[in-house]
Amino acid sequence: MRHRKLAQNNFAYLLGGLLFFFLLIPSLRLFLGASMEVELMRDYLPVGFSLFILIGVWGLQGNRRFFHLGLVLALLQLAFAVVEQRTHIPVFKVGATLNVLAFCLLNAFLAAQHVFSWRHADMNTLIGAVCIYLLLGLIWALVYVLFAHFWPEGSFNGMALQENAVQFDNFLYYSFTTLTTAGYGDITPINPLLRTLAYLEMITGQFYMAILVAGLVGLFMGKRGAAGSGNGS
Q: Which CATH number covers residue 123? A: 1.10.287.70
Domain that holds residue 34: 2-227
Tallying the residues shown for the chain, one arrives at: 233
Torsion, Cα of 104, 110, 137, 190 (10° steps): 70
In this prediction, residue 27 carries a pLDDT of 80
Query: Per-residue pLDDT averaged across 108-119, rounded?
Result: 84
Question: pLDDT confidence of 5, banded at 50, 70, 90?
Answer: very low
Lowest mean pLDDT among 110-119, 164-173, 215-224: 215-224
In this prediction, residue 3 carries a pLDDT of 42
Helical segments of the chain, H only:
2-8, 10-32, 37-39, 45-58, 64-87, 90-115, 123-150, 168-179, 192-232
122 to 49, 207, 223: CA distances (angstroms): 29, 22, 13
Does some domain include residue 233? no
Torsion, Cα of 18, 99, 145, 91 (10° steps): 140
Does some domain include residue 23? yes
Q: How many domains does the chain have?
A: 1
- For the ranges 24-28, 49-53, 61-65, 190-194, the one whose mean pLDDT is highest: 190-194
Does some domain include residue 232? no
Lowest mean pLDDT among 63-72, 176-185, 221-230: 221-230
